Amino acid sequence: MERKDFEGAGVQTRATHAGKELNTTHAVSSPIWLTTAFRADSGEHFAEIASAARPAEFYTRYGNPTHREAEAALCALEGGEAALLTASGMGAVFAAVMSSVAAGDHVVAQRNLYAGTETLMKELPRFGVEVTYVDQTRAEAFAAAVRPATKLVFVETPTNPLMTLTDLRAVAELGRARGVTTVVDNTFATPVNQRPLELGLDVVVHSATKYLGGHHDITAGCLVGSQAFVERAWRFSLVAGATMSPFDAWLLLRGLRTLGLRVERHNRNALALARFLEAHPRVERVHYPGLESHPQHELARRQMQGFTGMLSFELGGSYEEAARVVASLKLATYAASLGGYETLVVHPAAMWGLQLSAEQKNEMGVSAGLLRVSAGLEDEPDLIADFAQALEA
């Protein structure tokens, strides 16, 4: 089935079938092309594939048939013309940013970004690129920050860990009107819950380590956009060496095949847990865009089809009390990542305790009692019971 065959198809249909036409074998489950190089038929053939853009069979740093199948699935899910796999989510962010700017250019970025992305933004001035940070909750702030030298607007929604949203339609309209490339990190939402390219954004990036892989067993990244942009990003990624291994690409493809089913369960568990926590007397506040109490709930309803498996909540007590709650959980695992099959929880004040000052944590809204949860695939009553007993412990 070609890309046009998926127009109007549901997300799980696309996840199940997209890219299968690239499997030239009779195997139902696609093989893993574990090879560094591919044989040429002649000198002319070698010259042809060596000079081609993104050849699937030349040298795996340039591309690989396993990569191609996973990239085709990503294109169908996000609605893009082309996709590029990278060795990590930051590989995708780095390729997207550095393919968009040069010395003398200007970037507009929202203040609340993934820590790795924020570090990259802080490094850009070393390369002659200036960055302006804006409040992502104010769409007009992006427009006010754009200059003649602005080449890129970089956003992320929902954000970590307070689940703040960015108005994607407003950012897309600004980009089109000013001729500025717009890039969004769609990791927390996934293409099941949010399809930024359909809202007018230019490029989507993911840490595919998270929901797209979904099994806590790969480190991976990807970007999706136009054919021209992805080819430019590929040329940068080629020299940056951010190549995903064929085995990890196969694991990613395996994860993508069940993405719609998994994210539906993540969403349901997160909403149920958020509602339970919001009603609990020991919980001071819950951050989840699916709750009517979320200050941007109406924006979430406009630009999202589901509200993600991520949430955070604040206890009214101390750092020690939050740590005791985490230690008392039996099903939820205390670990840094997110988006996999089991529920993970982190205590941001502890995770960033040595990296951020008290003033920085306060600016980010990271209170001593804040806990972030990646709701897994457990049965809803069991998950809620686990948090109930931990809160009472």
Write down the pLDDT at residue 317. 76
Strands (E) in the chain, as ranges, are 82-86, 106-110, 130-134, 150-156, 181-185, 203-207, 221-225, 283-287, 310-315, 333-334, 344-346, 370-374
Contact status, residue 213 vs residue 341, Cβ threshold 8 Å:
no
At 56-89, the pLDDT tens digits run 999 999 999 999 999 999 999 999 999 999 999 9
In this prediction, residues 130-135 reach a mean pLDDT of: 98
Residue 366 confidence class, pLDDT cut points 50, 70, 90: confident
246-298 pLDDT per residue, tens? 999 999 999 999 999 999 999 999 999 999 999 999 999 999 999 999 999 99
- Residue 1: pLDDT above 50? no
Per-residue pLDDT, averaged over 290-310, amounts to: 98
362-392 burial, b if ≥16 CB within 10 A, otherwise e? Answer: eebbbbbbbbbbbbbbbeeeebbebbeebbe
* Cα distance between residue 177 and residue 175, in whole Å: 6
Task: Tell me the two tokens of residue 332.
Answer: 């939820």
**Residues 378/268, Cβ–Cβ less than 8 Å:** no
Distance CA 212, CA 174 (A): 29
More confident residue, 358 or 45: 45
Dihedral of alpha carbons 5, 11, 17, 22, sign: positive
Question: Domains in the chain, ordered, with CATH?
Answer: 3-256 (3.40.640.10), 260-392 (3.90.1150.10)
Q: Is the pTM of this model over 0.85?
A: yes
Q: What is the pLDDT of residues 157-184, one digit of tens each?
A: 999 999 999 999 999 999 999 999 999 9
What are the tens digits of pLDDT across the range 367-391? Answer: 999 999 999 999 999 999 999 999 9
**Pairing mode, strands 82-86 and 221-225:** antiparallel
- The tokens describing 173, both together, are 């309209």
Tens-place pLDDT, residues 4-36? 667 789 999 999 999 999 999 999 999 999 999
Supply the DSSP symbol for 49: H
Rounded to whole angstroms, the Cα distance separating 367 from 259 reads 33
Tokens 């804040």, residue located: 370
- Portion of the chain with pLDDT greater than 70, in percent: 95
Position 213 pLDDT exceeds 70? yes
Reported as a single tens digit per residue, the pLDDT across 185-199 is 999 999 999 999 999
278: helix, coil or strand?
helix
| Residues 164, 300 contacting (CB under 8 angstroms) | no
Q: Which two tokens stand for residue 300?
A: 């979430």
pLDDT reported for residue 328 = 98
Instruction: State how far the alpha carbon of 93 is from the alpha carbons of 206, 319, 357, in Å.
Output: 8, 33, 26
**pLDDT band of 365, cuts 50, 70, 90:** confident
Non-local (6+) Cβ contacts of 340 within 8 A are 210, 213, 214, 215, 216, 374, 376
What is the maximum span of the chain, computed from C-alpha positions, in angstroms? 74
Cα–Cα distance for residue pair 220/213, rounded to 1 Å:
8
- List residues with catalytic annotation: 61, 114, 185, 210
pLDDT band at 357 (very low <50, low <70, confident <90, very high): low
Q: CB neighbours of 77 closer than 8 A, spacing ≥ 6?
A: 11, 14, 15, 18, 191, 192, 256, 259
- Quickly state the pLDDT bin for 318 (edges 50, 70, 90): confident
Q: 46 to each of 50, 68, 81, how far by Cα in Å?
A: 6, 20, 27
